[in-house]
Structure 1
Amino acid sequence: MSYFTNGICMGGQISNLLASVSERKERFKILYLYLLDSYLTKIGPILTHTYTAKVKVRVQLNLHGIVKLESAVVIEDQMDNSVTINDSHLTSEEVAVKSDQMSSGENIAEVSDNAESDPPSAPSAGVARRGRGVKRLEIPIRESICNGVQRDELTKAEEKERWLMQQDLKIEQTKDRKNALEAYVYEMRDKILNTYRSFANELDREEISRKLQETEDWLYEDGMDESENVYAEKLEDLRKLVDPIENRYKDEAARAQAKRDLLKCIEDNWMAAVSLPSIKKDAVTDECNKAERWLQEKSQQQDSFPKDVDPVVWSSNIRRKTEALEA
């Protein structure tokens, strides 16, 4: 054990404060001496203060059976030496005397507490007694998990996993767009020459066939590894050419059904008007006759038009006529 010795000069001022600095790696003693041992005895020795640190650790066992170290805190006891005096009417000398008396009283109280077990009296108003507090210091921790990964490594792995999932989703969506474009090319090539043939003129059929062939060639050459948006734009360009023809084809069957529905509605209204008063009966009959004449006129006009142009009357127009008559 090493020693650290220092002294205060004889005849020095009282009180005197001496500050010394010493760097040590091992336990040491501090020895205080008067310079002349013949006059006074030595003071000490005083050992350096040693204490056992109190550390509070929080450990959690989660639902997966994994132990996790949450936090570690050093708990230190602290003595509060603050003294508060609220006697504002006292002079500075009286305040100093009162503070000295309080300090002396505290020392006497410490001695008497060991000899007597009387309950302590309540402190007088305006004075804050010395108390004991607790100081908590957080300790940085770092987990070392056997056969596992650290938190930062796990976070990076999760981020990479999410990125890979996004890439996989993007690849699948791009593949779906490409397959949809390819299927549309094959489907429309057959329909434009067979099913939709009478609903498109020669120029439209040639243009659409040429565009479909160009798209197919592009798919197997330059368009093998294009983005999802490029495939979607190609499909939209083809739909702009084919949709008018497809709408004319679909509306022909829908228009025939709408005509049948309107004629049935006219017949039902005629049958219902038989039991109505003459005024209402005449009004219903008049509306039915107007609807029937309108349908016959539009049907004759439509029959005179070729199928490769937009119809004179769409099925939606006939359905609105039926709804108005039913109302």
Structure 2
Amino acid sequence: VLRQDISVNEDIYGGMSRAELSQAQDKELQLAQQDIKMEQTKDKKNTLESYVYEMRSKLLNTYRSFATEPEREGISRNLQETEEWLYEDGDDESEHVYTKKLEDLRKLVDPIENRYKDEDARAQATRSLLNCIVENRMAVESLSASEKNAVFAECHKAEEWLREKTQQQDALPKNTDPLLWSSEIKEKEDILDAYVSHITNLRKSMDSH
């Protein structure tokens, strides 16, 4: 039997070879990635632009009493410069550049934003600690006299600490960093709760033996 090799070119998808198809798919993927990158860059630019407008408004209203005059002036100047840059040299920049610009602005605004946010958080934390003190004073019925006194003493210490710190905080203007942060009050509550839980658990353990 006579065998003869016949050369065959495999054509698929309307006459495209596998190599051509692979190239076309790579090109399509590349274009899709470019589209995604462009969209991400556009989003970052819009985020920066929105931040500029939002902070300018908040600085005049919501955050006004929480920023010093030099802080307001400095931030306002940076916001104005950023806005002008966005419509001039920064009209067609990379995602990284927009991200960096936003980070730089946040570094200026964050301290003021933190003061504003912590005022409400501090009030909530204060109420929570006072409730914790009341509840722990009421939860000592099963304890011995010395254990009760120990709990009462810790509650009193927490109460006095809060009163003293609150007085000091209230004497400060809003446009300075708090002397008393809400996180400190929360920590004090956690410590008090842990102390009372330790004593009550010891009592339960002793009573069970």
1:193 pairs, out of 57, 60, 68, with 60
The superposition leaves residues 12-56 of structure 1 with CA deviations (integer Å, 9 ceiling, x where unpaired) of: xxxxxxxxxxxxxxxxxxxxxxxxxxxxxxxxxxxxxxx422x7x
TM-score norm. by structure 1 comes to 0.57
C-alpha contact (below 8 Å) 2:11/2:18 kept by paired residues: no
Higher strand proportion:
1
Match status 1:261 vs 2:125: no
Aligned to 1:309: 176
2:83 pairs, out of 213, 216, 227, with 216
Kindly state the Cα deviation for residue 273 of structure 1 after the two structures are TM-superposed.
2.0
Aligned to 1:159: 26
Q: Distance in 2 between matches of 1:279 and 1:145?
A: 91
Letter in 1 for 2:182: S
Count of equivalent residues: 194
Letter in 1 for 2:178: P
Query: Aligned runs of 1:133-212 on 2, under 5 Å?
Result: 141-145=8-12, 147-212=14-79
Aligned to 1:52: 2
C-alpha contact (below 8 Å) 1:273/1:285 kept by paired residues: no
Structure 1 residues 251 and 144, CA, compared in 2 at 3 Å: closer, same or farther? closer
Kindly state the Cα deviation for residue 146 of structure 1 after the two structures are TM-superposed.
8.0
Aligned to 1:284: 151
C-alpha contact (below 8 Å) 1:177/1:231 kept by paired residues: yes
Query: Aligned runs of 1:1-327 on 2, under 5 Å?
Result: 51-53=1-3, 141-145=8-12, 147-327=14-194
Kindly state the Cα deviation for residue 140 of structure 1 after the two structures are TM-superposed.
5.4
Higher helix proportion:
2
Q: Distance in 2 between matches of 1:275 and 1:322?
A: 22
Q: Distance in 2 between matches of 1:292 and 1:284?
A: 12
Q: Which structure would you say has the larger RCO, counting Cα contacts within 8 Å and 6 or more residues apart?
A: 2
TM-score norm. by structure 2 comes to 0.89
Kindly state the Cα deviation for residue 323 of structure 1 after the two structures are TM-superposed.
0.7
The unaligned stretches of length 5 or more in structure 2 are: 195-209
Find the structure with the greater CA-based Rg: 1
The 4+ residue runs of structure 1 with deviation greater than 6 A are none
